[in-house]
Structure 1
Amino acid sequence: MRFKTRLRVGRIAALLRVVQALQKVDRRCILHLTPQEDDQIRLILFPTALSSVAAYTGLPKSYWFDGYRIESQSGNNIGMEVDLQNLDRALKSAAGGDAVVIKLAKKGVPVLTFDIRTALGPILQDLPVSIMSSTRLEECQEPDSATLQGVVLPSLANLCSVVERLKALGNHASIKTVVGERSSFTIEAASDAANLSASYDGLEVEPSSSMGDARECEVELEVKNFGKALFAHQILPDQVLCCKARLIFSCETRVHN
């Protein structure tokens, strides 16, 4: 199994923001290196005993990398678990480089090597990784949400502020979405002493279609986990959806340098 690519130096700051946002949710992530013909590689946070929040991030190869090469016996797919703190450190080191090559190597254990070229000389950083079986990697792929309709959420930074206040009332909150002529999103938490709710009306719906009768969906969740899901505001998303049936944040993001 082989992998090698050049990371575009001008994109490192934006990639670092993505990694730091994912660190708000969990300590480790799955890096899915895809075949040459697939335009994206993926960073995946899969629910674990420590966190029930899942996150799926697609990184277009043509934007982030040059000279992408991969080879494996699993249809040129390679999945590995990576410590996000180690990845954060490697990217911070790479930010001061003139050129950065990333490759998969074996030095007793599998490592993802960052070969950073600077004016003072080369810097090598090896990130230990755990290679995943193709079966396990398949289990961690993003569920199909293309057909789900959802309300476009208001400012996530504003929602984060609301969630911080809700934490004082207990561990759980209810979320209600209404999709119709006047679509809305409401979050509410209560204790014996107080009740706090925030409601956002007149929201857009995507994908748009004829509304018909209003449709409601209400779920209860842990405030802490909802706060983790709001990590997306750090990567400046253009749009975030809250979808019926399950809570899905679909971030359609143009990278802001």
Structure 2
Amino acid sequence: MDLNADLGEGFGRWQLGDDDALLDVITSANVACGFHAGDPSTMYRICGDAVERGVAIGAQVGYRDLAGFGRRRIDYDPDELRDDILYQIGALEAFCRVAGGQVAYVKPHGALYNTAAVDEVQAGAVVEAIRAYGPGLPVLCQPGSTLARLAEAVGIAVVGEGFADRGYQADGTLMPRRLPGAVLHDPDAVVARAVRMAVDGEVETGDGQVVPVPVASICVHGDTPGAVDLATRVRNGLTKAGLDVRSPHPFPAGSAGGEPGRRG
């Protein structure tokens, strides 16, 4: 079972979360690519530290929305959205190469993640960006979502993702953050939810229903207060449940070729 978190979500002098400590716990890092958060120096640092620790690096692509942290839906022209996503993947790839690694997968962020889960136009733009860059890149997204379905239809591998610290709705989508119960704060409840998703492939919704969530990766949000302790507890809980916590993301065969560089 993979354990992922969003990293590099600061900008300039403003830092969000303890990226260095999280890299010692997680197995995959979703790195902000500069549109909803992140900047070149942060991307450089995170990629180097992730490669040194053997943590897989994913392009956390989002809307062009620094002010709103990518959590406000934007109605894009689909070609423009495709190109913005392609731009972000390519930017992160440069820093990965300098560090001696590669982008291993793509994960939409925030409002783009939630919109692509149900909207064929925006999901299609994400799929087209990945196909244009290299179909060997998997996409990390909600299992059974519109994005998952469209990706699988064109041969893009899907890694199903579950959220340990988020509330779910009856249709298997995430509860909007404005609703009570959308974010879980009790560490014991978060660990129990993560283990249930990983072992049983199911989650209890906000109204008490149980829905299937066949996942291969568990996310703990890096901007949650106490994220490092929470991620550590989740990892320990998964291990105690008999799961091998490791990344499912090898270097993708579909990425652009060439020898990686070295950080100077």
TM-score between the two structures when normalised by the length of structure 2: 0.29
Richer in strand (by share): 1
Bigger RCO of structures 1 and 2 (CA < 8 A, at least 6 apart):
2
Richer in helix (by share): 2
Larger radius of gyration, structure 1 or 2? 1
TM-score between the two structures when normalised by the length of structure 1: 0.29
